[in-house]
A and B are shown apart, each in its own frame.
Chain A
Amino acid sequence: MHWEAILQALRETFPAETIEAQAGLIDETFIALPPDGIHLAVQVLIERFDLRHLSTITSQDTGGEIELLYHFWGGRGLTLRTSLPREKPHIATLTDLIPGAAFYEREVSEMLGVTFDGFPDPYPLLLPDDWDGQPPLRQEESND
C-alpha cells in the first residue's frame, strides 16, 4: 500500500481542502475529509489503489457533532474521518461501492440517528422493531 500516493491522490481530488495525514498509535493513518467528499474518496481508494476492505464504521457523539470513522485495511490501517451536525445528520451511502458496508451503516443509523442517503433498506440491525427511544449512543440532551 502506497500511503504517500493515496494522500497525494486525495489532495488532487480535493484541491480546495487541506488534507493532512495523522499517524495513529498502531499501524493506522487518519485522514479527515468533508462529509460530501467521503463517497468520492472511497471511489478513488477502490479504483486507483484497489483498497476496498472496509473493516467497519465507528460513529460517536462528541458532544458538538456526530463523528464518523471509516476504517479501511490494506496491509495497514487507513481511517477516513468526517463530522456531521447533530441536527438531522446525513451522508451518502457507500453500499453502491462496497456492499459489505450495509450492516455498518444500519448500525450507525440506529445508534446515532444518521441517515444514509440512497441506502436501499434502512431497517434496524440490532434494536427492536418497536424501539421508540432516542438513538442509544447519543449523549443525553442537556436540560439547561
Chain B
Amino acid sequence: MTKITIPIGPQHPALKEPLSFLLTVEGEQILDSALRIGYVHRGLERICQNRNYVQNVHVVERVCGICSHIHTTTYCQGVEALLGLQVPPRALYLRTLLCELERIHSHLLWLGVLAEYIGFTTIFMYAWRDREIVLDIMEELSGGRVAHAANVIGGVSIDADEAHVASILDRLDVLERQIKLFLDLIRRERSFQARTRGVGHLSAEQIRRYCVVGPAARASGVDVDLRRDAPYAAYKWLNFQVITAEEGDVWARTMVRVLETIESLHMCRQLLTELPAGPLTVRAPRRVPPGEVVSRTEAPRGELIYYIRSDGSDRPARVKIRTPTLTTLITLHDQLAGVHTADVPVVLAGVDLCIACADR
C-alpha cells in the first residue's frame, strides 16, 4: 500500500489549539509522526524580565487559560521564599482551595473533551454542565472564572465568610454525586472501554525515559505527586490519597483523573471546614534581595517548575517556566506509532494537551 503523509494543523477545524502534525500513514495505520509547536509562543519569560515582581503575577497568570491559579501560586511561592516571607495559614488554605477547585475544573473539562472525541456526547454534556458548579464557586470567590487574580505576593486577595463556606460545601455534595454518576457510567459503558483500553499506551520505563509527570505518569504506575512528596501551601495539613493505575493507557488516565477529582472534592471540604482565622496577607517589599529559587508545584497536569533569579532590583533577572504539557508532548511520537487513524484524537485527548502552556 502507498504511504501518504497527511499534514494536520497548525490551523485545523478539529484542533482546539494550534499545533502541527505530519502523520505518515499506510492505509489506516500510522507509521510515523512529526510534531511542531510554538504557534502561540508569546515570549512570556522575556516579558517577565521587563516587568516588576507585582506586575508579573498577572503575566504568569496568562501562561495557561485552564490552570491559571497554579502558575501564580508557583511564582508567588518562589518570590515569597526569596523575600523570606511567612504567608499566614488562612491565605495558604484559600490558595490551596483554589488550586483544588481548579484541578476539578481542569479534569472535568478534560473528561468532556475526551468524551466528545470518542463520540460519547452524553458524558461531554454532563461533564461540562457540572463543571459550571466549580466555575461559579471560583467566580464568587475571586470575581474571575478563568483568571482569578487571587494570589498576591505574601498572601491572597480573596476571602470567604461562614455563610459562603456553607453554600460552597452544599454544592460540592451535588458535584460529588454527579462525578460518581460519570464514574459509574464510564465503568459500565462498553463502547467507552473499547475506545480507550490499550490506546496510547506508555510503560513505566517510557514515563521515566521521557521524564513524564502528573496523571499520565501515575496512570502508568509511577507514583509521583508533589502535593504529597514536597508539600507546599496547605497540603501538609491535609489527608488525601495519591491515585495511581497500572495499565498506562487512556483508560487508566481516565480512571486516575476522575478518581483524583473525587479526592480533590474531599480536600476542598477539609480546607473549608478547617479554614483558620487570621490575616490574609503579609506586607511584601517591592525590591527583592539578590538570590535564586526553584519553585515546584503539582498542577492539574503534573509537576510545574519555576526558576526565579533576583539581582536585587524590583524586576526579576530571569523567570524560567516549564509546564507539565511539555513532558507529555514528547511522548506523542511513541504513542502514535502503529495506532489506527481513528484513534489519533483519543491519543491526543489522552495526554491532556495544553498548547498555550507548552508554548508560553
Contacts and interface: CB of A to CB of B under 8 A. Distances in A.
A103 B326 contact: yes
Interface residues on B, range: 35 or more
B64 to A, nearest CB: 16
B318 interface: yes
**Max count, chain A CB within 10 A of own CB: residue among B78, B81, B211:** B211
Nearest to A121: B34
Q: Which secondary structure dominates chain B's binding surface?
A: mixed
A28 to B, nearest CB: 5
A26 B317 contact: no
Contact of B320 (A28, A56, A99, A102): A56
Contact of A60 (B43, B211, B294, B309): B309
A101 B232 CA distance: 26
For B229, B293, B294, which residue has the most chain A Cβ atoms within 10 angstroms?
A: B294
Contacts of B307: 56, 58, 69, 71
Nearest to B82: A25
B295 interface: yes
Interface stretch (A6-14, A37-45, A125-133): A125-133
Contacts, number: 86
Given A28-B293, A136-B46, 19 more contacts: A24-B293, A26-B77, A26-B78, A26-B293, A26-B295, A28-B294, A55-B303, A56-B305, A60-B320, A71-B307, A73-B303, A77-B296, A100-B210, A100-B330, A103-B330, A104-B322, A125-B38, A126-B38, A137-B46
29 contacts: A25-B81, A26-B293, A26-B294, A28-B293, A55-B322, A56-B307, A56-B322, A56-B326, A60-B309, A60-B317, A60-B320, A69-B307, A71-B307, A76-B230, A77-B294, A99-B210, A99-B330, A100-B210, A100-B327, A100-B330, A103-B326, A103-B329, A103-B330, A104-B322, A125-B37, A125-B38, A127-B41, A136-B43, A136-B46
Interface of B: 37-38, 41, 43, 45-46, 77-78, 81-82, 208-212, 229-230, 232, 291-296, 303, 305, 307, 309, 317-318, 320, 322, 326-327, 329-330, 359-360
